[in-house]
Structure 1
Amino acid sequence: MEISLLRSTTQLLVPSFSKPNRRFHAYKPLKLRCSVAGGPTVGSSKIEGGGTTVTADCVIVGGGISGLCIAQALVTKHPDAAPNLIVTEAKDRVGGNIITREENGFLWEEGPNSFQPSDPMLTMVVDSGLKDDLVLGDPNAPRFVLWNGKLRPVPSKLTDLPFFDLMSIGGKIRAGFGALGIRPSPPGREESVEEFVRRNLGDEVFERLIEPFCSGVYAGDPSKLSMKAAFGKVWKLEQNGGSIIGGTFKAIQERKKAPKAERDPRLPKPKGQTVGSFRKGLRMLPEAISARLGSKVKLSWKLSGITKLDSGGYNLTYETPDGVVSVQSKSVVMTVPSHVASSLLRPLSESAANALSKLYYPPVAAVSVSYPKESIRTECLIDGELKGFGQLHPRTQGVETLGTIYSSSLFPNRAPPGRVLLLNYIGGATNTGILSKSEGELVEAVDRDLRKMLIKPNSTDPLKLGVRVWPQAIPQFLVGHFDLLDTAKSSLTSSGYEGLFLGGNYVAGVALGRCVEGAYETSTEVNNFMSKYAYK
């Protein structure tokens, strides 16, 4: 789910909403069983029983953002690796968890809400023809954390910490000494996020910053999330430099010594720490990529089985609107959720399937509501307006909602004049009971929480735009996550399934930007494999 409030490096990935005024029901998890696309060079022929066989260089299973971006990366960065490329999607649309809705002057997201405009992400944007549709948030937009009944601004970087009232003087001193390395030594085992942060930066940093951040990014339990897997960049600072500050200085020195790569002149130059979207919402990205891939993308193709061919490569059997289709491919990339991949891969490798089946996805609900502008508490206004990215709520503060995105403040043309649009997330690993709540109960819970800190208590009822419940929302990078991934990958390789790759957010990371960065990494793996294949 990713509510990126403390830093602009993550986005919220949650499921899809029901239409307004419809009875609530829990949506089944997305099962991207696949879709095949064939360009003019993809061969096909009839087989006995009325089916069709198709040949390809690479089949990408799943038409969500990871699968589409892997295909785009192969086409743009490695055009000779897999010219006969196929993307398969079980649903009748592309985009996976990216769902943008527009109605009555409102435009809102029901999955990821934004992305960090890193260079890989911007490259994908430009290559998709969306440079002119890119919209960036205000880099100075404040983020807030609820503490003791008040929304308090969050420092955008560690050096700003002394100037904010979110923490006590003692807590700030403890964090400073810890960051310098005056703290207990690492325990010599994989630490949870809670263990790492309490040891390095103290209790206040954990309780008032990191715990709500974990709720916002992963909808997770920081006592179980792995620091190494979930926040690897910070974990590496201590590993490389002996402390967080030491690692930061070392990383700066290494960057100065490294040869500076020339930046693609086509890319926009974002100012400061900001987040991005598109003029008509995030859906523009998967739709643009799919349009460019054209006939390489097939919708409503459901993968029923995968086998290894004696001659090398793989045979994938699909149920399609036109009947059964068998695809014979030199390589396969599985970008479906881990629990779906587990079922599909079990006939090939029991150990790989078992490892993937252990990954956990908690439920999350995304609740979009609107209030009149005059409903916002006066003390929450800046220059008479609701400004900022949004707010996070620590579990200790007596509210159920994980956090709130100020959608109409973040990007233009998200709500009609005189209205504010708020995207709220509720549920997660520490509140799985949302699955038993009705749509009305979820809206009431959000409204009740907002009236405690943001909305005037006597305000009119909110306008409900949508409620979407994702029973399996976000993969949890728990302690041992990398071990499970390594087990799955090594089991496939040792069983002779080379050219079968795992991708998606449980591999690359839950942020939309990380899915895109992971797509480029996976495309390189496929290119390397296909290069070897060409010489066999």
Structure 2
Amino acid sequence: MKQAVIVGGGISGLATAWILREKAREQGIELGITLLEKESRLGGKIWSIKDDGYLCEWGPNGFLDSKPQTIDLCRDLKADSQLLRSNDNARKRFIFSGGILNRLPENGPSFLKSKLISWPGKMRLAMEPFIPKYNSDADETLAAFGRRRLGEEALNKLIAPMVSGIFAGDPETMSLKSCFPRIAELESEYGGLIKAMIRLAKKKKAEVAAGKAVASAAGPAGVLTSFKGGIQDLTDILAAELGMTVIRSGEEVVKITKGGTVPWRVVTARGELDADAVLLATPAYASADFLDGIDGDISEVLRQIPYATMTVACFGYDRDQINYDLNGFGYLAPKQ
């Protein structure tokens, strides 16, 4: 029987183990799977805590259902009935600028009325349809794209806070094609973002008039979705499905070697495992250490991937302590 070892018990490792097991069963392949996690708890950065009636997410607080893979996984796990979608107020986002909260504009009229962007900044944004499209196969940073198509002010007040909120990253170093491939496609296909918005709006209107479904296969596009008990429910369900015959938590991998009498040997603090395949579901810097003596070039590339530090602070308030409507998702603050 073939043996596969997965290193890392976060969402990537757990989902990989589960999908690998299901695919092997479908194809009638005998496959032994072992998942190794150095911590005693599973889930990695996904961590939901309930305290005195409050739910605190120490990591991600949900996922967007605009792509079907996560929804499909939930359905396959028979956990889709436990999904909890955010209400319409979650679409309202705010930017803290000029000492006040400014609602992020959602359309042309609200953009013109917004005090978030100055009139020179709005004029620069209005020039976007006349900016030539990017005609190079080379990738572009998010900052370079924003500066080129929308201007410096829009980059600093709109794009940079959004990127920070989604990725906790720096737009000056982040890839447009990797982070927002659809935006790169829209510019390439339509010549600009505003042109794309107009064309797509007309297309959607025509499809609605023709009675066609325009929502994505994953449900309403781009809706923030979690579980009734917190996003950790997903990793808990995966762990329960896999069971302790697959998962070995509290077991740290010390070294991985290649060749010899077996394709791979995984050395842990408790012993050794022979494997036909090893899958690394660990942070890039940890994977770099494992691959150091196996493939120095890949190891070096992995070491160069930057990671952003992040602090999460959870606050809980009684509803009667708040004397205004809770009618939005949250706010972001530009660096400048």
Normalization by structure 1: what TM-score? 0.54
How far apart, CA to CA, are the structure 1 residues paired with 2:201 and 2:274? 45
> What are the within-5 Å matches in structure 2 for residues 196-207 of structure 1?
196-207=145-156
Question: How many Å apart are 1:109 and its aligned residue?
Answer: 0.5
Question: Aligned to 2:87, which of 135, 138, 163?
Answer: 138
> 3-state SS of the aligned residue for 1:94?
coil
Question: How many Å apart are 1:240 and its aligned residue?
Answer: 3.8
Question: Which residue does the alignment assign to 1:147?
Answer: 97
> 3-state SS of the aligned residue for 1:367?
coil
Is residue 139–residue 272 contact of structure 1 (8 Å, CA) maintained in 2? Answer: no
> 3-state SS of the aligned residue for 1:144?
strand
Question: Which residue does the alignment assign to 1:94?
Answer: 42
Question: Aligned to 1:317, which of 241, 261, 267?
Answer: 267
The alignment status of 1:394 with 2:326, answered yes or no, reads: no
How far apart, CA to CA, are the structure 1 residues paired with 2:220 and 2:89? 10
How far apart, CA to CA, are the structure 2 residues paired with 1:349 and 1:269? 39
Is residue 237–residue 245 contact of structure 1 (8 Å, CA) maintained in 2? Answer: no
> 3-state SS of the aligned residue for 2:21?
helix
> What are the within-5 Å matches in structure 2 for residues 153-172 of structure 1?
153-156=103-106, 161-162=111-112, 164-172=114-122
4+ runs deviating over 6 angstroms: 157-160, 250-253
Question: Aligned to 2:193, which of 227, 238, 244?
Answer: 244
Stretch deviating more after TM superposition (280-289 or 240-249): 240-249
For residues 159 and 352 of structure 1, do their structure 2 counterparts lie closer, same or farther at Cα, with a shift above 3 Å needed? farther
The alignment status of 1:297 with 2:247, answered yes or no, reads: yes
How far apart, CA to CA, are the structure 1 residues paired with 2:286 and 2:72? 30
Q: Which amino acid aligns with 2:275?
A: S
Question: Aligned to 2:62, which of 114, 124, 142?
Answer: 114
The alignment status of 1:232 with 2:181, answered yes or no, reads: yes
Q: Which amino acid aligns with 2:32?
A: N
> What are the within-5 Å matches in structure 2 for residues 291-440 of structure 1?
291-294=240-243, 295-310=245-260, 313-320=263-270, 324=271, 326-373=272-319, 376=322, 381=324, 385-396=325-336
Question: Which residue does the alignment assign to 1:63?
Answer: 9
Question: How many Å apart are 1:214 and its aligned residue?
Answer: 1.7
Where does structure 2 lack aligned partners over 5 or more consecutive residues?
Answer: 207-212
For residues 107 and 138 of structure 1, do their structure 2 counterparts lie closer, same or farther at Cα, with a shift above 3 Å needed? same
Give the aligned length. Answer: 319
Q: Which amino acid aligns with 2:164?
A: S
For residues 280 and 170 of structure 1, do their structure 2 counterparts lie closer, same or farther at Cα, with a shift above 3 Å needed? same
Bigger relative CO (Cα 8 Å, ≥ 6 apart): 2
Q: Which amino acid aligns with 2:306?
A: Y
Question: How many Å apart are 1:336 and its aligned residue?
Answer: 0.4
Where does structure 1 lack aligned partners over 5 or more consecutive residues?
Answer: 1-41, 43-55, 257-262, 397-536
> 3-state SS of the aligned residue for 1:395?
coil
> What are the within-5 Å matches in structure 2 for residues 283-294 of structure 1?
283-294=232-243
Question: Which residue does the alignment assign to 1:462?
Answer: none
Question: How many Å apart are 1:191 and its aligned residue?
Answer: 2.8
How far apart, CA to CA, are the structure 1 residues paired with 2:229 and 2:285? 32
How far apart, CA to CA, are the structure 1 residues paired with 2:32 and 2:241? 15
What CA RMSD, in Å, does the superposition of the two structures yield over aligned residues?
3.0
How far apart, CA to CA, are the structure 2 residues paired with 1:250 and 1:158? 15
Question: How many Å apart are 1:292 and its aligned residue?
Answer: 0.5
Is residue 128–residue 285 contact of structure 1 (8 Å, CA) maintained in 2? Answer: no
Normalization by structure 2: what TM-score? 0.84
How far apart, CA to CA, are the structure 1 residues paired with 2:162 and 2:75? 30
Question: How many Å apart are 1:149 and its aligned residue?
Answer: 1.3
> What are the within-5 Å matches in structure 2 for residues 245-284 of structure 1?
245=194, 249=199, 270-271=219-220, 273-284=222-233
> 3-state SS of the aligned residue for 1:76?
helix
> 3-state SS of the aligned residue for 2:60?
coil
Is residue 143–residue 388 contact of structure 1 (8 Å, CA) maintained in 2? Answer: yes
For residues 356 and 375 of structure 1, do their structure 2 counterparts lie closer, same or farther at Cα, with a shift above 3 Å needed? same
Question: Aligned to 2:131, which of 155, 160, 183?
Answer: 183
Question: How many Å apart are 1:242 and its aligned residue?
Answer: 3.1
The alignment status of 1:211 with 2:152, answered yes or no, reads: no
How far apart, CA to CA, are the structure 1 residues paired with 2:30 and 2:149? 46
How far apart, CA to CA, are the structure 1 residues paired with 2:143 and 2:327? 31
Q: Between the two proteins, what is the percent identity of the paired residues?
A: 27
How far apart, CA to CA, are the structure 1 residues paired with 2:117 and 2:241? 50
> 3-state SS of the aligned residue for 2:187?
helix
How far apart, CA to CA, are the structure 2 residues paired with 1:278 and 1:185? 41
How far apart, CA to CA, are the structure 1 residues paired with 2:186 and 2:160? 20
